[in-house]
Amino acid sequence: MAGDPDLGRGGRLPVILDVDTGIDDALALFYACASPEIDLLAVTCVAGNVPLEAVVANTLAVLEVAGRGDVPVHAGADRPLVKPLTTTEETHGPEGIGYATRPSGATVAARGPAATAIVDIARRRPGEVHLVTLGPMTNLALALDLEPRLPSLLRRWTFMGGAFRGPGNTTPTSEWNIHVDPDAAKACLAAWSVALAADASVQPPIGMGLDVTEQARLTPEAVAGLAKLADASAADANDLVGDPASAMRPTGSVGANGLVRFVVDALRFYFEFHATYDGFYGAFIHDPFVVAATIEPGLIETRPVFVDVETGPGLAHAMTIADWRDITGRPPNVDVAVACDAAAFLDRLVERVGGLAARGTPSDLRAPG
């Protein structure tokens, strides 16, 4: 799992993040803001975990808490291409950020739809921009309608989505992001197939599915370590660990730091969900793992394979079908992650987000003393 980050000019990788900000998207945004390797050009929003209005509000709030209210945020698709929108407030909370609350006075979204923003940025900086999609692929599908040359204009595309060698988390065969808009996923992968055949400079997308992202389990102990790095007292941080009935509640110096308080309050809801449905008090944190692997490819090992998406009805609806045995004879169109160093990623997450919190948050985001 070796490899150097694919960095752009000045040693920083120009990135667009496309999100449906629930809890793990929020952590991914914090990770991106904490990573000096990333030049975060824009964040585009798509309906998914929660409706679009909440996604935009959550994204603006997270960037404000991270001290990056300067990053343009563009609203995108408020529904999938074909099927009705399904959201998952039971996983991420009524507003999509668990028990966390949005700060008042957050910045407003930039003008212009997400698909147009993706295309405009890619045209202005051909061959430089890495697109990372962390939710349904609706915005990217719409961007491809506007600019079919997009695979050639982007440096690369990485997505969180799919279950390639194991069960789904939404149906027995499908992962959430793909299930929300399988038609968009199918269209995007088909577009890359065409581009790969026509242009030797196009790189296949990197797909990170549940097979690898579910190896990264965040625990209260790791969150306590993050709080300590953010200068919380050991006693306050240790209170985050213990009986789930009383754990993960920010008090004292933990609650006084706006970013740590946001993380803890959001994650407590997520941990409770996983305790109910997955049997452990902690959480799979899919999206920040994808951001980490984008700037540190050595965290994952990939294998090229042809992938298609089932859009028809039945148990296989929204299944990501990977032709591991080359039965179809179709050339590979995705570099699918098949192995990972989840422990190293979790260490990076604690260090980077804890370090970001230690650098301080705006005074109006701090809890009253």
Q: Mean pLDDT of successive 10-residue segments in the chain (369 residues)?
A: 46 96 97 97 98 96 95 97 96 95 79 95 98 98 98 98 96 97 98 97 98 96 96 94 90 94 96 94 97 98 98 97 98 98 98 93 40
CATH number of 9-216+285-349: 3.90.245.10
CA angle 284, 278, 17 (to 5 degrees): 25
Q: Quick one: pLDDT at residue 106?
A: 62
Q: Is 313 left (phi over 0), alpha (psi -120 to 50) or beta?
A: beta
Q: Quick one: pLDDT at residue 107?
A: 72
What's the pTM? 0.94
Q: Quick one: pLDDT at residue 246?
A: 85
Q: Quick one: pLDDT at residue 104?
A: 78
Dig out the tokens for 236 from the structure.
């306050």
Side chain identity at residue 97, one-letter code? I
Where along the chain do the CATH 3.90.245.10 domains lie? 9-216+285-349
Half-sphere exposure of 225 (CA within 13 A, CB side): 12
The length of the chain, given as a count of residues? 369
Distance (Å, whole) CA 139 – CA 147: 12
Distance (Å, whole) CA 22 – CA 102: 13
